[in-house]
């Protein structure tokens, strides 16, 4: 995980900042923690540790999985809405980060601008975890990779197809994750919805090192062909509600439906980070069908987050 120069503490801000071995270690740790959980063999690795969770965006899975995960590891989690702390009344990120670092052992933040979490990481003296920003969603993608690995037995060499809004935090983190894991990835998105150019270029460079490719295209039929994994996300994310009508019109040809999925491999896996808008980005037949693993994927948020917390905090005094 990216280490800040002025301290020995580590943060989890993007998948791209991880070394390949760090990503593999996290996936192995998550799988081991999940196995222990299923067997009722929880270990209080983080006894006495406290996680502070700052939410500027609402959440179901992120809040519950981090809070439950911290408790299962023997620690405690504090929910901090931006409306309830001084950050929401104008206190600087610098001051908030410095003060909270005296109270908690780790901070998880779910916010809008990616610059916000980068600022927290610069000023906090404890590890900072990106629970979601408008640019990246690394904790979700770690759970996605864990799910794919469970179902397919591997990551390297598989093909992921993402359809819809490519300029999206899920698509960005998937690009980084696929490249890091040696997976091919295709993105089907119309003009005006292409991924961030810098993130795409970085992922393509990483993919080339692994001998895999990242493809961009506007034709969903071409991009989904022979895909092992099909992924989409809502077309209007939080903060984009005013654009909903236009987005529905622009992206209607990128709906994941039964007809389109016939072009993927016969044993394709469907993933969605949820919440889903059935009938918009995906049909009920697909998300509730035999290829869907969305609830296993949601469950894996718990174990992926536990792995991140354990790796960041286990050896911190």
Is 81 annotated to bind ligand?
Answer: no
β-bridge mates for residue 108, sequence order? 53, 129
Is 108 annotated to bind ligand?
Answer: no
The active-site residue, picked from 114, 137, 291, 305, is: 137
Residue 285's contacts (CB-CB under 8 Å, 6 or more residues apart) are 257, 258
β-bridge mates for residue 217, sequence order? 188
The active-site residue, picked from 165, 273, 291, 305, is: 273
Is 139 annotated to bind ligand?
Answer: yes
Is 232 annotated to bind ligand?
Answer: no
Is 110 annotated to bind ligand?
Answer: yes
The active-site residue, picked from 11, 228, 233, 250, is: 233
Is 123 noted as a catalytic residue in this protein? no
The active-site residue, picked from 11, 105, 106, 110, is: 110
Q: How far is CA 194 from CA 6, 55, 270, 310, in A?
A: 36, 27, 21, 35
Is 273 noted as a catalytic residue in this protein? yes
Is 122 noted as a catalytic residue in this protein? no
Is 200 annotated to bind ligand?
Answer: no
Q: CA torsion sign, 263 to 266 to 268 to 274?
A: positive
The active-site residue, picked from 72, 140, 149, 255, is: 140
Is 233 noted as a catalytic residue in this protein? yes
Is 72 noted as a catalytic residue in this protein? no
The active-site residue, picked from 184, 301, 303, 305, is: 301
Is 137 annotated to bind ligand?
Answer: yes
Is 252 annotated to bind ligand?
Answer: no
CB 65 within 8 A of CB 30: no
Is 238 annotated to bind ligand?
Answer: yes
Is 76 annotated to bind ligand?
Answer: no
Is 140 noted as a catalytic residue in this protein? yes
Rg, Å, the chain Cα set: 19
Is 60 annotated to bind ligand?
Answer: yes
Residues marked active site are found at 110, 137, 140, 233, 273, 301
Show binding-site residues: 59-62, 86, 110, 137-140, 169, 233, 237-238, 273-274, 301
Show binding-site residues for L-ornithine: 169, 233, 237-238
Show binding-site residues for carbamoyl phosphate: 59-62, 86, 110, 137-140, 273-274, 301
């Amino acid at each position: 995980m990216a280490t800040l120069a002025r301290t020995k503490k580590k943060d989890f801000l993007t998948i791209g900042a991880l070394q390949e071995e760090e990503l593999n270690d996290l996936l192995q740790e998550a799988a081991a923690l999940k196995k222990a959980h299923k067997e009722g063999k929880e270990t209080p690795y983080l006894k006495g540790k406290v996680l502070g969770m700052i939410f500027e965006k609402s959440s179901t899975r992120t809040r519950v999985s981090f809070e439950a995960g911290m408790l299962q590891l023997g620690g405690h989690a504090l929910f901090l809405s931006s409306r309830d702390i001084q950050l929401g009344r104008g206190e600087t990120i610098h001051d908030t980060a410095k003060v909270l670092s005296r109270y908690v052992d780790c901070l998880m933040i779910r916010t809008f601008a990616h610059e916000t979490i980068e600022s927290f990481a610069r000023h906090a003296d404890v590890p900072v975890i990106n629970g979601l920003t408008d640019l990246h969603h690394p904790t979700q993608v770690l759970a996605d990779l864990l799910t794919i690995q469970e179902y397919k037995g591997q990551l390297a060499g598989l093909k992921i197809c993402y359809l819809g809004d490519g300029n999206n935090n899920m698509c960005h983190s998937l690009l980084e994750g696929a490249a890091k894991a040696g997976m091919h990835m295709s993105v089907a998105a119309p003009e005006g919805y292409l991924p961030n150019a810098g993130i795409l270029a970085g992922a393509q460079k990483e993919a080339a090192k692994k001998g895999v490719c990242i493809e961009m295209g506007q034709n969903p039929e071409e991009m989904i062909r022979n895909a092992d994994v099909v992924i989409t996300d809502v077309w209007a994310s939080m903060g984009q509600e005013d654009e909903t009508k236009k987005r529905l019109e622009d992206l209607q040809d990128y709906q994941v439906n039964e007809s389109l999925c016939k072009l993927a491999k016969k044993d394709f896996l469907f993933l969605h980070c949820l919440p889903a808008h059935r009938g918009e980005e995906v049909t009920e037949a697909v998300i509730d069908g035999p290829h869907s693993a969305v609830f296993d994927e949601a469950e894996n948020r718990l174990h992926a987050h536990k792995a991140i917390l354990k790796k960041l905090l286990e050896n911190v005094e």
